[in-house]
Amino acid sequence: MKGPHGASLAGAIGALASLALPLASASISANAKAACSALSATGIETLTSEWDWLNPDYITAQSHYWSAAIAEQIPACAVFPTSAQNVSQIVTVLNEYPDVPFAIKSGGHGSNVGWSSTDGGVLITMSKLASTVISEDRATADIGPGSRWIEVARALEPYNVTVVSGRLGDVGVGGLLLGGGLSFLSTQYGLACDNVVNYEVVLANASIVNANATSYPDLFWALKGGGNQFGIVTKFTVKTHPIGKVWGGIRNYSGKHAEALINATHDFNSNFSDPKAAIIVTGQIAIDSLLEFFTVFFFYDGETPPPGVFDKFNAIPVDIDNAKTQSYADLLDGDDSTNIYGLRYLIRAATLPNLPSTAGRSLYYGHFKAFKEYAMSEGILHPGFTFSIAYQPMPYLIPMHSVAAGGNALGMTPESGDHMWMDYNFAWLTGLGDDDAHAMAMNVTATLESWAQSTFAGIAATNYQGSMQVTALTDAGYTPIFMNDAMYDQLPAQSYEDGNYQRLKTIQKAVDPTGFFPGRTGGFKYT
Ligand SMILES: Cc1cc2nc3c(=O)[nH]c(=O)nc-3n(C[C@H](O)[C@H](O)[C@H](O)COP(=O)(O)OP(=O)(O)OC[C@H]3O[C@@H](n4cnc5c(N)ncnc54)[C@H](O)[C@@H]3O)c2cc1C
Ligand SMILES: *[C@@H]1O[C@H](CO)[C@@H](O)[C@H](O)[C@H]1NC(C)=O
Ligand SMILES: *[C@@H]1O[C@H](CO)[C@@H](O)[C@H](O)[C@H]1NC(C)=O
Ligand SMILES: *[C@@H]1O[C@H](CO)[C@@H](O)[C@H](O)[C@H]1NC(C)=O
Ligand SMILES: *[C@@H]1O[C@H](CO)[C@@H](O)[C@H](O)[C@H]1NC(C)=O
Ligand SMILES: *[C@@H]1O[C@H](CO)[C@@H](O)[C@H](O)[C@H]1NC(C)=O
Ligand SMILES: *[C@@H]1O[C@H](CO)[C@@H](O)[C@H](O)[C@H]1NC(C)=O
Ligand SMILES: *[C@@H]1O[C@H](CO)[C@@H](O)[C@H](O)[C@H]1NC(C)=O
Ligand SMILES: *[C@@H]1O[C@H](CO)[C@@H](O)[C@H](O)[C@H]1NC(C)=O
């Protein structure tokens, strides 16, 4: 008896999950049941798939994930801590059941199966550790890991401040901050993680510690982009920044303007005239309708963008224009209109150098053309698939703020110039497409990357100030891979600059000598 979705479980996730997840198990073990009973006995709310599958809290914990593939996993139980002490108690119990897998869930927006979900293990959901409390001097806010960015933005709005957050309100705080976090405010204040001043963390030995500049400073650094293998974060203390009315929202364009849009994106990123401005440019190809269109997310931290900032975009005919002056929280909320539940997703990440002038435009537009060609040739055999490609500017201004804030695990430097963080997104309807989706994601991104590296070898990115020789293999601008957009078989931490992977690995071993996290929960590993 495994709850309402039990019957479809094995078949539906089978192929995809078994590629990624040695932990996936189709049945709930006696030890998992015993761990759930022990958790329940602590008094912390624990709901089992066996007995509580009609409980609304259980249903939300088990099934409210962005990707429908993840929502098919059935935990032995979901446990709902309301304090760091509760999380510590949960870790103590889990240490007594060393063969029971577990998962930590925040917003459930990750796309890797078995990372914030578990098939047959203990699901620790942070949904009841989700408050946002501003400090007395209003310089920082304490944010619970179960919160979503829209809730954070709404809670801070009355004080005319906000934090460096996700760009869609529905995304969770926990995963986004631990993977670095790219925000509309990043060109002003760095990555989201650069703004964290303290992490309250439960370690593998159940100790509750503060990781900050003076307490566990190595762990503090590792949590800034190193992911979920170091501890369970129970509170983030994050710097606030003043915010008033902002301008922005979504514009949809016909695919026939692809080249003009991509040229405008390249110009915007090459010569960042105003750090208060930000964009995400996404091109979408829906196989069934053969529809090709672009959605561009615009942002300006001010009531109206000054002339010049978005001129090249404004010159392109638009089909739908939702950009307007509004509060920051309303903007995050409006951006959620693109956020569709009920589909299965894979996301893959790449970093491209922002090359100067014609080479830069050719790299970006050539990339789109090849992606589209792939979708039209290979994808056409797969009804129901949507292919999308996102261009996310990463100008040198962002690492400049990261470095000024003390640095993070990604290790980027402003001297390496301007980059583009690419995100390739594959959406489809049923488990039957899982194998194809994975093969296509691998194939198209590998093809694009080798084309880019061989065609544009030896050209330095705009604003590059290094003295190193730019070759196809060293310092060519194809790293780091952004963890928050990375697929389970990519190696983002290994791609971090400056040999940071080795340092992360050493810190992981030091705080978790028994391998509590690597052995028992999904995530990007340090092994
Ligand atoms: C529609 C959409 C929009 C996005 N927009 C942005 C964006 O603007 N900027 C950006 O940087 N990224 C963005 N992302 C990527 C996003 O940051 C990642 O998917 C992130 O992992 C989601 O975090 P979550 O808490 O919602 O996810 P979850 O799936 O709940 O968690 C993701 C990972 O973090 C771990 N984790 C979560 N909480 C904790 C905790 N408290 N302690 C330890 N580990 C924890 C989980 O175990 C899991 O491995 C977006 C993704 C989507 C799908
Ligand atoms: C769980 O946390 C609550 C506070 O939110 C506390 O009252 C309770 O004693 C804790 N239980 C355990 C077992 O830690
Ligand atoms: C926030 O800004 C508004 C509009 O400028 C102002 O009326 C209000 O007093 C401010 N609130 C705080 C707490 O500063
Ligand atoms: C850092 O951790 C120490 C030890 O727990 C704590 O006393 C201090 O307040 C923390 N600093 C910040 C900025 O939270
Ligand atoms: C885009 O830029 C390229 C290279 O500069 C140019 O050849 C092309 O005409 C531009 N296309 C559009 C539509 O702006
Ligand atoms: C970059 O911006 C500056 C100031 O806004 C301008 O003078 C310069 O011409 C721009 N350069 C390019 C290549 O667009
Ligand atoms: C614009 O496109 C997005 C998909 O990227 C879609 O979700 C949204 O509904 C479109 N907006 C309008 C107003 O049609
Ligand atoms: C990759 O896709 C191309 C078509 O675009 C196809 O010819 C090739 O067989 C695919 N390769 C793999 C390994 O799937
Ligand atoms: C728990 O582990 C941390 C990190 O290794 C260590 O500093 C701390 O002393 C340990 N706590 C206990 C109670 O052993």
Question: Which residue's CA is minimally distant from atom 11 of ligand 6?
Answer: 271
Q: What is the pLDDT of residue 527?
A: 87
Last residue of a domain, one of 87, 107, 125: 125
Question: Which residue's CA is minimally distant from atom 5 of ligand 3?
Answer: 244
Identify whether 5 is part of a domain.
no
Do both 113 and 156 map to the same domain?
Answer: no
Identify whether 102 is part of a domain.
yes
Question: What is the CA(277)–ligand 5 centre distance, in A?
Answer: 23
Residue 19, Cβ neighbours under 10 Å: how many? 14
Question: Which residue's CA is minimally distant from atom 4 of ligand 7?
Answer: 338
What is the three-class DSSP state of 422? strand
Do both 136 and 234 map to the same domain?
Answer: yes
Identify whether 215 is part of a domain.
yes
Identify whether 139 is part of a domain.
yes
Name residue, tokens 């080795």: 502
Identify whether 175 is part of a domain.
yes
Do both 163 and 181 map to the same domain?
Answer: yes
Identify whether 248 is part of a domain.
no
Question: What is the CA(245)–ligand 7 centre distance, in A?
Answer: 23
pTM of the model: 0.94
Kindly state if the Cβ of 203 falls inside 6 Å of ligand 9: yes
Strands (E) across 267-402 are located at 277-286, 291-300, 320-321, 324-326, 344-353, 386-394
Kindly state if the Cβ of 447 falls inside 6 Å of ligand 7: no
Question: Which residue's CA is minimally distant from atom 12 of ligand 6?
Answer: 271
Question: What is the CA(330)–ligand 3 centre distance, in A?
Answer: 17
Kindly state if the Cβ of 160 falls inside 6 Å of ligand 3: yes
Q: What is the pLDDT of residue 26?
A: 53
Do both 66 and 158 map to the same domain?
Answer: no
Q: What is the pLDDT of residue 8?
A: 34
Do both 166 and 105 map to the same domain?
Answer: no
Total structural domains in the chain? Answer: 2
The CATH number of whichever domain residue 199 belongs to comes to 3.30.465.10
Identify whether 38 is part of a domain.
yes
Do both 121 and 173 map to the same domain?
Answer: no
- Parallel, antiparallel or unpaired: strands 386-394 and 277-286: antiparallel
Kindly state if the Cβ of 338 falls inside 6 Å of ligand 7: yes
Kindly state if the Cβ of 116 falls inside 6 Å of ligand 1: yes
Do both 64 and 150 map to the same domain?
Answer: no
Last residue of a domain, one of 92, 125, 158: 125
- Parallel, antiparallel or unpaired: strands 102-105 and 122-125: parallel
The CATH number of whichever domain residue 83 belongs to comes to 3.30.43.10
Do both 82 and 180 map to the same domain?
Answer: no
Last residue of a domain, one of 109, 125, 141: 125
Ligand at minimal distance from the CA of 282 is: 7
Kindly state if the Cβ of 339 falls inside 6 Å of ligand 3: no
Q: From first to last of the 527 residues of the chain, give the pLDDT tens digit.
A: 233 333 333 333 333 333 333 333 458 999 999 999 999 999 999 999 999 999 999 999 999 999 999 999 999 999 999 999 999 999 999 999 999 999 999 999 999 999 999 999 999 999 999 999 999 999 999 999 999 999 999 999 999 999 999 999 999 999 999 999 999 999 999 999 999 999 999 999 999 999 999 999 999 999 999 999 999 999 999 999 999 999 999 999 999 999 999 999 999 999 888 999 999 999 999 877 778 999 999 999 999 999 999 999 999 999 999 999 999 999 999 999 999 999 999 999 999 999 999 999 999 999 999 999 999 888 777 878 899 999 999 999 999 999 999 999 999 999 999 999 999 999 999 998 999 999 999 999 999 999 998 899 888 999 998 765 555 445 678 999 999 999 999 999 999 988 899 999 999 999 999 999 999 999 999 98
**402's tokens:** 């990261």
Do both 27 and 121 map to the same domain?
Answer: yes
Do both 31 and 114 map to the same domain?
Answer: yes
Q: What is the pLDDT of residue 458?
A: 84
Give the structural domain span for 74: 22-125
